[in-house]
A and B are shown apart, each in its own frame.
Chain A
């Protein structure tokens, strides 16, 4: 599929829909119609498909708790892989997300925001959003996930640069009692969870959950290390993983208190650097936690207020073994720590007819950003330590006006001002026009600018060269509901990123002088039937370039998703089938070494299928799910984040991924 095809299709869609609009002329001013006539008039029933909650003029993708159950999703990465135009890449450490204008694993952290019930959860050192087992939330506690592609700096400031993942957790009332769940899965994995949720007579709602995951992992083979001195390329028993999670939520009247904690330990089978030993212990630990308190109320009929306090912390630990200890340093230990708190006061004012004003102020204090490296001798004695400390205080002001021009047209204008203690102030504006020519059709056109501040890790790595990076995004979205159960979503976009850091040979330093452009088209059809069948299919074409103007690595031109679920055995069980197509994509350019020349491998297109069977009803309190991922046992590879060659001079530009795996979950409500 080429861009010629993309243009043809976009023109076709445009014509198709403009044609549809021309005959959709309606007289919708009902206010002068006598009531006797109104009760006779037919209506278009409200959509039976999930509606977006986020107030954003972009093409939002939605996954609900029903989808999570039907398709056996276990991590946010699974959810993201099922969404239009998105994919993830795994390097045995983390799952990295790829989408519009980003795909290289290193591009992910700091550019995507992950919100849990309105709280931004990225850590304060790398600004990474954790979507795998190092993430904060068990998917069994999730009511819905929305992905808002594109910029969100107008509302959320730094980091909301290329997309926002919005997670809404379930209410305690939806459990109405206790639930215990046990899971077993491939590679010696198991998980236990205990949850209690309830809504009390006085309206107070509580949810509490604790879970533990343990995976033995398996031996992994790496062709680049297939030499007798490096165990023939096999990393033995270096793929285990453990996590412990806690989650609690309490809400009463307008007050909500929420806290989450996760501690994830992972052994990494890949060799992290040129200086470390293959098949030696390389273990990482990520600890994330937050506390979020919010009070919402109406101050009279025209003013809504939301006051929020938050505290967050992140700890990263890593341990590695060097292959050469002639300098007396055999082991390396890292401990990075971030702590922050903030206050956000938001108002929504409806004083003026046809205007809805959102405005507020946020203060955030990243009071601890500490990097600590310790080097140990073979006898585990400390040889050398290095330490760096950073901090940042940010004050932000924001204002958005939603203007209703008439029954069909509205505008959304806004800007956010962010002033960080170590950077020049920045404005992030957004302009959007929304046109609803008929009850079933919505057009949204928007232009916005977003940015990302250099994070603590950038400041540590690039020193004075660390600088903010920007993106300007234009998007045209069309949503059309053919029936309340059949919805089309189309999106045409162009992103221009600027002031990206690139190495400048003359200055012998990194300079913020890179820019790149991406454009693409996404289409999706979603349909449900009263009988319980649900189907969703999407295609995304994208053309993302890097700062050199060449195709961006790990960014396929074509992505396809197909999801189908239907009830079986008299509605007692539900089958969920998922197909995912990932077009061919480039690996990272491999650095030259010895006699070799730099090269860049292209990975072939691939299609994966997953199948899930889940019970729809409880039987004496019991219910179950069973999943097969990679149903047809396809052997495939992912783009690796490594660009250096080990001693064998064989590039390690790809990593082998799992074949068919199984997962079984048994739940008991009590």
Chain B
């Protein structure tokens, strides 16, 4: 019984410690904010002409962001309706306009780049891999920041608008 009471009191102590952590202001989950960023990347980029009906935002290896993106389905980017696809393989990545690559699939970055070539697919990651993708989202203190790889965008024939570049933490450009 002594051990039991010890455990209960430890647990209660934990609750109390947790409560003393203080109230936080209304805030947004990291995954929800990443989804909002990704949607805005799409909205503030000039896309090459295409006869596709939908604007496809895909995720690979991060279901949380994939779920958060669902609420943007049906909104318009480039006059096309947004469709969200949570992919499990590279089989259909060429059909995406934006491809978000989560941690779990980062080892495949090389093959993704090879597979996409110079197609107009904007790749986004949330790890320090900017040289290999179009944009990177990173946690900076309590806020999210992002970086743009203009070289990548140029190769893929994508034109990020000036207000997007203005908000970016850094822009990678070789010339």
Contact = CB atoms under 8 A, between A and B. Distances in A.
A203 B108 contact: yes
B36 A30 contact: yes
Interface string A542-576: 00000000000000001011100000000000000
A579 B3 contact: yes
Interface stretch (B67-75, B117-125, B127-135, B151-159): B67-75
A406 to B, nearest CB: 9
Given A298-B92, A304-B88, A43 B11 contact: no
B18 A488 contact: yes
B42 to A, nearest CB: 11
A535 B13 CA distance: 13
Question: Interface centre among A29, A35, A486, A538, by most B CB within 10 Å?
Answer: A35
Interface in B5-59: 7-8, 10-11, 14-15, 18-19, 21, 23-33, 35-37, 39-40, 43-44, 56, 58
Contacts of A562: 7, 10
A38 B33 contact: yes
Contacts of A302: 83, 85
A525 interface: yes
Given A28-B28, A579-B7, A39 B64 contact: no
B89 A527 contact: no
B164 to A, nearest CB: 8
A22 B154 CA distance: 49
A44 B27 contact: yes
A372 to B, nearest CB: 44
Interface string A518-543: 00000101010000000101110000
B40 to A, nearest CB: 4
Question: Interface centre among B4, B19, B87, B96, by most A CB within 10 Å?
Answer: B4
A298 B4 contact: no
Given A41-B28, A42-B25, A539-B11, A298 B88 contact: yes
Contacts of A46: 29-31, 64
Nearest to A605: B1
Contacts of A607: 3
A300 B19 CA distance: 47
A23 B14 CA distance: 22
Contact of B75 (A31, A173, A299): A31
B27 A42 contact: yes
Given A39-B145, A43-B144, A525-B11, A560 B3 contact: yes
Nearest to A34: B40
A207 B122 CA distance: 34
A40 B140 CA distance: 11
Contacts of B113: none
A25 interface: yes
A31 B36 contact: yes
Contacts of B30: 43-46
Contacts of A605: 1, 3-4
A439 B7 CA distance: 29
A254 B75 contact: no
B86 to A, nearest CB: 7
A558 B36 contact: no
Contact of B144 (A29, A39, A537): A39
Contacts of A1: 4
A596 interface: no
B111 A203 contact: yes
Interface residues of B, number: 62
A26 B27 CA distance: 7
B92 A301 contact: yes
Contacts of A483: 18, 21
A299 B35 CA distance: 24
Contacts of B83: 301-302
Nearest to B83: A301
Nearest to A607: B3
A507 interface: no
Contacts of A560: 3-4, 7-8
Interface in B88-110: 88-92, 95-96, 107-108
A525 B145 CA distance: 31
Contacts of A354: 70, 73
Contact of A31 (B10, B39, B96, B144): B39
Contacts of B39: 31
Contacts of B88: 254, 296-298, 304
Contacts of A298: 85, 87-89, 91-92
A25 B88 CA distance: 34
Contact of B28 (A26, A199, A301, A583): A26
B162 interface: no
Contacts of B108: 203
Given A29-B71, A44-B27, A483-B21, A35 B107 contact: no
Question: Interface centre among A40, A42, A558, by most B CB within 10 Å?
Answer: A42
A350 interface: yes
Contacts of B18: 482-483, 486, 488, 525, 527
B29 A439 contact: yes
Interface string A476-507: 00000011001010000000000000000000
13 contacts: A31-B75, A39-B167, A43-B29, A45-B30, A46-B64, A299-B92, A300-B92, A486-B14, A560-B3, A560-B7, A562-B7, A579-B3, A579-B7
List 7 A-B pairs, minimum CB-CB distance, nearest first: A439-B29, A607-B3, A301-B85, A30-B36, A560-B7, A482-B18, A42-B142
Interface of B: 1, 3-4, 7-8, 10-11, 14-15, 18-19, 21, 23-33, 35-37, 39-40, 43-44, 56, 58, 64, 70-75, 83-92, 95-96, 107-108, 111, 139, 142-145, 163-164, 167
Given A296-B89, A301-B92, 9 more contacts: A30-B33, A35-B167, A41-B27, A43-B30, A297-B89, A300-B92, A404-B70, A483-B18, A538-B11
